[in-house]
Structure 1
Amino acid sequence: MIEPSLALYGEAFARVDQQLEELLEQTGVRYCLLVDRKGFVLSHKEALWAPRPPALDSVATLVASNAAATAALANMLGERTFSEQTHQGENGTLYVESVGSDALLTLIFDSSVALGKVKVYTRKAIEKIAVILDEIKELPQPELGNDFSEGATALLDDLLG
């Protein structure tokens, strides 16, 4: 089973969540998503006034796939990476920027929001989010012993019979 590349929870999750909330307020975008490069949504925020969001898991998967394809194109063209992607339609824009090597910050907004403003505030948020993600990578992985496994099995046997 494929799992997210980052485990974002607890205080680190709250700090990232706060950064996304501030980014929403500063820019006026509809949706902010922090996506890992495997296509998992690590955190997301949506504006209160925004219409019903698209299927965020599908957006995350496609954004990660597109980032992988873009990385291959960058490599073919002799670039180390392309750190941002912009997809503009008639009514909306999807803006994606790398957060280190592990995540992608994705913003979805309509044509009333200036792309330059989004880029400026997104870069500031990325600096802060990157620090948080670096901190959680340095945390030791929890190790669960046999007693946990046995206890969990016993609990499930009791519950399910």
Structure 2
Amino acid sequence: MIEPTLALYGDAYERVDRHLEELLKNTGVRYCLLVDRKGFVLSHKEAIWAPRPPALDSVATLVASNAAATSALANMLGEKAFSEQIHQGENGTLYVEAVGEDSLLTLIFDSTVPLGRVKVQTKKAVAEVAAILDELKDAPPVEFDEDFSKGASALLDDLLG
């Protein structure tokens, strides 16, 4: 079974979430997602006024796939990597910026939002989120003991009968 590259939880999740919320507010974008390179949504935020979001899992998978293809193109052209991707349509734009080696910050917005503002604000957020994700690399893995397993089983038994 494929699992996310990162386990984002607790204080780290809350701090990343705050940065995404601030990015959403400072840019005026509709959706902001932190995606790992395997295509899992690690965190996301959406503007209150935004229409119903697209299927975020599908967006994450396609963004990760596109990043892998773009990385291969970068290598073919003698580059180590391309740090950002921009897909602009008539009415909407998708902006993707690498956050370290393992994740991608993805913003979806309409034509009323200036791309320059998005790029400047995203660069700031990327540095802050990358620092948080770097802290997680040194964290010990979460391990659940037998008591947790028994407690969870008991709760499920009570809930489901």
Q: TM-score, normalised by structure 1?
A: 0.92
Which residue number corresponds to residue 123 of structure 1? 123
Residue 118 of structure 2 aligns to a residue whose secondary structure is helix
Which residue does the alignment assign to 2:23? 23
Q: How does 1:106-117 map to 2 (within 5 A)?
A: 106-117=106-117
**2:44 corresponds to which residue?**
44
Tell me the secondary structure at the aligned position of residue 90 of structure 1: coil
User: CA 1:92–1:154 in 2, change beyond 3 Å: closer, same or farther?
Assistant: closer
- Output the amino acid matched with 1:111: S
Instruction: Report the secondary structure of 2:33's partner residue.
Output: strand
Count of residues in Structure 1 that have an aligned counterpart in Structure 2:
160
- Residues 10-61 of structure 1 deviation map (CA, whole Å, 9 limit, x = unaligned): 1111100000000011000000000000000000000011000000000000
Seq. identity, %:
73
SS at match of 1:14: helix
Classify the secondary structure of the residue corresponding to 1:127: helix
Give the unaligned 5+ runs of structure 2.
Answer: none
Shift in CA distance, 44/154, structure 1 to aligned 2, threshold 3 Å? closer
Instruction: Give 3-state SS (helix, strand or coil) of 1:64's partner.
Output: helix
Deviation at 1:143, TM superposition (A): 3.2
Give the distance between the partners of 2:17 and 2:151, measured in 1 at CA. Answer: 31
TM-fit CA distance, 1:153? 9.0
| Distance verdict in 2 for CA 1:101–1:153, change over 3 Å | same
Q: Which amino acid is the alignment partner of residue 37 of structure 1?
A: R
Taking only aligned residues, the RMSD between alpha carbons, in angstroms, comes to 1.9
Between 5-14 and 135-144, the greater mean CA deviation after superposition: 135-144
Q: Matches of 1:116 and 1:154 in 2, distance apart?
A: 51
Q: Distance in 2 between matches of 1:135 and 1:62?
A: 27
Shift of 1:136: 1.1
CA-CA distance at 1:148 after TM superposition = 4.8
Shift of 1:126: 0.5
Deviation for aligned residue 1:111? 0.4
Alpha-carbon deviation of 1:158? 5.4
TM-score, normalised relative to structure 2: 0.92
Unaligned runs of 5+ in 1: none
